Structure 1
Amino acid sequence: MTVNTYHPSHHVNHESKAPNAAMENNEDIIRIMPTTDDLKKPHSDQEFIERAMSEERSNHKNLIASSRDELPSVTVNGVMIDRTDIAQELQYHPAANKEDAVFLATQALVVRELLRLAVLAEPSLGISAWQQDEEQAISNLIDKNVQATIADTATCERYYQQNITDFKTDPIMSVRHILLACAPDDGDERLKLKKNAYELIEQINNDANPSAQFIELARQYSACPSREQGGELGVIDKGQTVPEFESHLFKLDKGLAPSPIESRYGFHIVEVLDKQPGIQMTYEQVSPAIHNKLSQQAFHQALCDYLFTLANEANIEGIEMSLEQENIFRG
């Protein structure tokens, strides 16, 4: 079974990033990772529970219904999952098609019913705990039965060494360009513009003042609004431009690129004004993030094992819950 987590993306002020790139990047990593205390909060547990089955093998053949348009009849230990509840649960399980959405929604309600029955069977909880606060009762049940291994220093250091490239900041580049624009499906025009791009590159290289010539040609020929600034795009890091442009851009060294870069927009004559390579962060800088990541991973594994046990011990009819424990979590 696979458990999903949300990794928020962070938008960085690139103008202030360079002087303290390693520290800012480290703070971003630490900020998105939950602490051990966070993992114990009821709302956090509830999110894990609701998502615990969301990446099951969501094949609608595992779901028994008399037609594609019907909601299924599913029972857990003889208790039927209310079809109205399934219909309401659908909104929380977007999927590629209706069958998959119904499967995921039904499966989530089966998990909740398994947890409800486990709360009722737990002597320290029981029906009174469920009636008083369902979410707190589930949280208490998980605290009692899900014991995650906390990663020690040796494990964290080993993870760092095995994934060391993941803890390197992206390079930062200061770039200007001249865009010779063309529609992506106009083959003849693209051949013409590619030749023109090489001619402009040669013209810049042969000029007594290449920088001034680049600015002049940008203002004269570029189809990008940056032509008003002599083609300057400012500071760029990964993820800011279209992939086909970026894949070539970050391989360039400082100076005028000898060949134009082709993108969906046309051909780009590119000059790298400055390039700051990525910074390798030390283990000390990222150890809190690694510790929290591995703790979260261990919690997911333990939670999956517990849900797997509950499902195996129950009599579930109407849905085939085929768990894939080996894919429980991907960081």
Structure 2
Amino acid sequence: MTVSTYNPADHTTNNAHGNNHHHHVAHHSAATSRIPMSHDEDIVRVMPTLADLKKPHSDKAFIEKAMAEERSNHSNLIASSRDELPSVSVNGVMIDRTAIAQELQYHPAENKEDAVFLATQALVVRELLRLAVLNEPSLGTTAWDNDEEQAISALIEKNVTATTPDMATCERYYQQNMADYKTDPIMSVRHILLACLPEDGDERLTLKKSAYALIEQIKNDTNPNAAFIQLAQQHSACPSKEQGGELGVVNKGQTVPEFENTLFKLEAGLAPSPIESRYGFHIVEVLDKKPGVQMTYEQVSPAIHNKLSQQAFHQSLCDYLFMLADEADIEGIEMTLEQENVFRG
């Protein structure tokens, strides 16, 4: 692969979603279908259900997580200035800048440079696949003109093969990843919320000290149970204060991630430290915890087989795209073809 590049030092590319072909990619979105609220709807401000994850902060968190998983590489976005789209060609054919601008909507990123790189790379991959279809005797121009998506599917089916994992491979994967195949614990929880907006740093510092003071007050009381209930009624900003702070049974996926990540690591009893979330500080007591159960290999073997089969296919697809890129004369972009950013499906 020939790569002719000019690399401005201040251009950054975090390749979060990768070579998404315009017709084949499942464009990511953090939005989910609305789930009906339960009778606990009145506490949703503190303990959001999946329906609340439709809100804008969820999209932002999704994008940030995806971006964090990728390596930062400042060298592969090529443009003559921050205000221009890159000049990229495949075998002498320029990638249309209007197409790049239109493709941007499918590639959320933290900044313009990242989005431009992802969109441009996706169109380069599409052009590589188009050329491969034209050069495939069983497909050719007619197949491409009739149905581009079907032509690419046929091309991939013909040229991308993956080894099906055998039983020994699946069993070995299970033994190495047993923790991933446990049922989630079930928690019965109560809390006191000292509420504060995320951006109010001074207020948060004050509330954190107050939260620790309340924890000490509960611990040192001759009747900690009564003290928790009384303090919840006096100080909690959550409607659950009317029930002494009780949230009932909490399952994974029902709360915001920053609360849940700490909560499910706790054992039964009063947590020694408050849990900070976007809502403020939570003084938490785990009233009951039923630990998760380890699932057997027999129970999860179909899922493992499917997972490893998909990984093998995606790696083979990545290898095929790399071969196409290596054989082409690509100017203006340094391709980053890796399994985690090749389009799925």
What is the identity, as a one-letter code, of the residue corresponding to 1:160?
A: Y
SS at match of 1:185: helix
2:304 counterpart of 1:290:
yes
Task: Please identify the structure whose Cα radius of gyration is greater.
Answer: 1
Q: 1:188 to 1:159 in 2, by over 3 A?
A: closer
CA distance in 2, matches of 1:178, 1:296: 45
Q: CA deviation at 1:140?
A: 0.6
In structure 2, the partner of 1:173 is 187
The answer as to 2:128 corresponding to 1:114 is: yes
CA contact (8 A) 1:2 1:328 kept: no
Specify every segment of 5 or more residues in structure 1 that has no aligned partner in the other structure, as ranges.
16-54
Q: Which of these residues, 195, 198, 215, is aligned with residue 216 of structure 2?
A: 198
Determine whether 1:274 maps to 2:288: yes
Match of 2:270 in 1: 257
Q: How far did residue 59 of structure 1 move?
A: 4.8
Alignment check: 8 A CA contact 2:191 2:232 kept = yes
How many percent of aligned residue pairs carry the same amino acid? 69
Letter of the 1:200 counterpart: I
Task: For 1:201, give the aligned amino acid.
Answer: K
The alpha-carbon deviation at position 244 of structure 1 amounts to 6.2
One of 296, 299, 305 as aligned partner of 2:319: 305
Partner of residue 37, structure 1: none
Q: Does structure 1 retain, via aligned residues, the 8 Å contact 2:17–2:118?
A: no
Distance 1:118 1:136 in 2: 13
Report the Cα distance in structure 1 between the residues aligned to 2:102 and 2:33, rounded to whole angstroms. Answer: 32
For the structure 1 residues 237 and 329, does the alpha-carbon distance in structure 2 shift closer, same or farther, using more than 3 Å as the test?
farther
Cα 1:89/1:58, change in 2 over 3 Å: farther
Q: Shift in Å at residue 13 of structure 1?
A: 10
Give the partner amino acid of 1:257.
L
CA separation of 1:226 and 1:158: change in aligned 2, threshold 3 A: same
Q: Is the 8 A contact 2:191 2:282 kept in 1?
A: no
SS in 2 for 1:117: helix
Mapped pair 1:71 → 2:89: no
Task: Trace 1:190-229 onto structure 2 (pairs within 5 A).
Answer: 190-191=208-209, 194-203=212-221, 206-207=222-223, 211=225, 214-229=228-243
| Aligned residue number for residue 45 of structure 1 | none
SS at 1:88 equivalent = helix
Counterpart Cα distance in 2 of 1:273 and 1:71: 57
1:220-275: CA deviation from partner (whole Å, max 9, x where unpaired): 44443112112211111345445665455434443x4274535353461x443321
TM-aligned CA distance change 1:213 to 1:117, over 3 Å:
closer
Number of the residue aligned with 2:137 = 123
Query: 1:79-90, aligned counterparts within 5 Å?
Result: 79-90=93-104
Q: How does 1:145-156 map to 2 (within 5 A)?
A: 145-156=159-170
Is contact 1:60-1:103 (8 Å) kept? no
- Quick one: distance in 1 between partners of 2:285 and 2:16? 45
For residues 103 and 188 of structure 1, do their structure 2 counterparts lie closer, same or farther at Cα, with a shift above 3 Å needed? closer
Relative to structure 1, the CA distance from residue 248 to residue 136 in structure 2 (aligned partners, 3 Å threshold; closer, same or farther) is closer
Q: Does 1:159 align with 2:173?
A: yes
Q: Could you say which residue in structure 2 is the equivalent of 1:103? A: 117
Q: Distance in 2 between matches of 1:115 and 1:167?
A: 38
Structure 1 equivalent of residue 47 of structure 2: none
Computed over aligned residues only, the root mean square deviation of the Cα atoms, in angstroms, reads 3.7
Per-residue displacement from partner, 1:209-230 (whole Å, max 9, x unpaired)? x656654553344443112112
Query: 1:12 deviation in Å?
Result: 9.7
Is contact 1:180–1:197 with CA below 8 Å preserved after alignment? no
Supply the distance in 2 between the matched residues of 1:57 and 1:180 (Cα, whole angstroms): 38
State how far apart, in whole Å, the 1-side matches of 2:166 and 2:227 are: 59
**In the aligned structure 1, how far is the partner of 2:329 from the partner of 2:309?**
32
Q: Aligned partners of 2:271 and 2:117: how far apart in 1?
A: 54
1:235-254 pair list within 5 angstroms? 235-241=249-255, 246=260, 249-254=263-268
**Structure 1: which amino acid aligns with 2:295?**
M
Q: Which amino acid in structure 2 is aligned with residue 74 of structure 1?
A: V
What amino acid maps onto 1:288 in structure 2?
Answer: P
SS at match of 2:293: coil
Q: Which amino acid aligns with 2:90?
A: V
Structure 1 residues 71, 58: closer, same or farther in 2, change over 3 A?
A: farther
* Between 173-182 and 240-249, the greater mean CA deviation after superposition: 240-249
